[in-house]
Amino acid sequence: MVVSKAWTLRQHFQGFPKASDFHLREETLPQPKNGQVLLEAVFLSVDPYMRPYSQTMMKEGDVMIGSQVAKVIQSYNPSFPVGCHVVSDCGWRSHWVCDGAELTPVLPDWPQDIPLSLALGAIGMPGLTALYGLEEVCEIKKGETLLVNAAAGAVGSVVGQIAKIKGCRVVGCAGTDTKVSYLKELGFDQVFNYKTATSLEESLREAAPHGYDCYFENVGGKFSSVVMPQMREYGRIAVCGSISMYNDTTPQTGILSTPQTVILQHTVQHHTTDRYTVHTTDGYTVHTTDGYTVHTTDGYTVHTTDGYTVHTTDGYTVHTTDGYT
């Protein structure tokens, strides 16, 4: 018998999540049967979507939703031998018994010098979100100008890198000068700190005087309403997230369409990765239809806090009592 540790949602979040909203409990797992495997967590992810999804998908007392990279430590399923690594959506728990139906194997030839945590970041769901937002929603083309906000995040940093590979001019916004320097290192053409900018409107205009063809939207709220008038004719907006609103206790309201957005015929499409999984048959290397691979050797950051690695979440930390995040 294995005793698993699981982080549960003690109470629904009100405003910004607090440590007291979580509760660590132990659960005794059944012995795996024929066809089943026993998983041990290696990396857990902490993603922004958990904040809004917890409200609709979870009851108080449930184990926190989330993906993890796990190692198979006992196996009665030949598809997942002992020692292999998988991505599982079993939430914030240290161990889990399952039949393998929901598991995605991490590529057996995963390069030694790339952390496995990237299967939850640049080479996983956030990377694919970036890719599909650019290719399927924006249908971005060489020579176009793209704006991405939360640009140093797991999604935004990949968005900018793919757009550069595709020959675009990339403008990014981030909330610290360290992130701004990081984005310049990644090859972004123009980057500014939106928190210290005197005027967001002016900074956006200076970065792209002729406006933006594509806008990869991660932030929502007031930020969007400043960007919209600077979109060019036939501009495309991939709405990936609205992180600035996730902790609001009073929902924001605002104007989505204006005469200008009609005249300039902007396309706005919201998207999630689920819609496009059909294209991800080769696991966690990000391939696209036009044949390039997103390499991540110099385009990611891994933060370590209290002995636990928090993958590319760009400063988001959950503290625990025993080192398990």
Ligand X SMILES: NC(=O)c1ccc[n+]([C@@H]2O[C@H](COP(=O)([O-])OP(=O)(O)OC[C@H]3O[C@@H](n4cnc5c(N)ncnc54)[C@H](OP(=O)(O)O)[C@@H]3O)[C@@H](O)[C@H]2O)c1
| Contact footprint for ligand X (CB under 6 A) | 47-49, 125-126, 129, 150, 152-156, 174-176, 179, 218-219, 240-244, 271-273, 312-316
Taking CB atoms, the residue at the shortest distance from ligand X is 241
Shortest approach of ligand X to residue 9 CB, angstroms?
18
38 vs 158 by CB, closer to ligand X: 158
Of 40 and 136, the one with the shorter C-beta distance to ligand X is: 136
Q: Quick check: 124 and 87 in contact, CB under 8 A?
A: yes
Q: Residue 168 Cβ, how far from ligand X at the closest point, in Å?
A: 19
Taking the complex as a whole, the smallest distance from the CB of residue 216 to ligand X amounts, in Å, to: 9
Minimum CB distance to ligand X, residue 35 (Å):
31
DSSP for residue 15: S
Closest CB to ligand X among residues 211, 315:
315
CA atoms of 157 and 97, how far apart (whole Å): 34
C-alpha count within 13 angstroms, C-beta hemisphere, residue 196: 10
In order of 54, 121, 195, 213, the CA distances from 324 in angstroms are: 20, 19, 32, 43
Choice between 36 and 288, CB closer to ligand X: 288
Nearer to ligand X, 98 or 268 (CB): 268
Q: Can you name the residues that pair with 111 across neighbouring β-strands?
A: none
Nearer to ligand X, 6 or 154 (CB): 154
The CA-based angle 19-23-29, given to 5 degrees, is 145
- Shortest Cβ distance from residue 191 to ligand X (Å)? 10
- The minimum distance between CB 213 and ligand X, in angstroms, equals 20
Amino acid letter, residue 318: V
